[in-house]
Structure 1
């Protein structure tokens, strides 16, 4: 997935779920791994990282 799409998904997920968005992305990544969709799981991990950067430092 390209960087602009990752950022777009991250922003949308964060707008919809707030501080729970990172957990949502992690759940989607795990679900993709269970279905052996490694490319999709990697994309969701990238979205998770982008959400983490959106939230800023000192957020757990």
Structure 2
């Protein structure tokens, strides 16, 4: 997943889930890791980090 796609996923997830978006991305990351999908897990980790940036400092 490229940077543009990561940002789009992060914005969509944040719009849909608000403050729970980061937790949702973390859950997806864990599910992918458990299934052995390391590439997808890395993508979800990037989405999670982007959500953290969207939320800004001191938001969790």
* Alignment TM class, shorter chain as reference: over 0.9
TM-score (norm 1): 0.99
Which position in structure 2 is the counterpart of 1:32?
32
Which position in structure 2 is the counterpart of 1:13?
13
CA RMSD of aligned residues (A): 0.3
Unaligned runs of 5+ in 2: none
Q: How far apart are 1:12 and its partner, in Å?
A: 0.2
C-alpha distance in structure 2 between counterparts of 1:47 and 1:7, whole Å: 7
Unaligned runs of 5+ in 1: none
C-alpha distance in structure 1 between counterparts of 2:48 and 2:14, whole Å: 10
TM-score (norm 2): 0.99
Q: How far apart are 1:2 and its partner, in Å?
A: 0.2
Which position in structure 2 is the counterpart of 1:3?
3
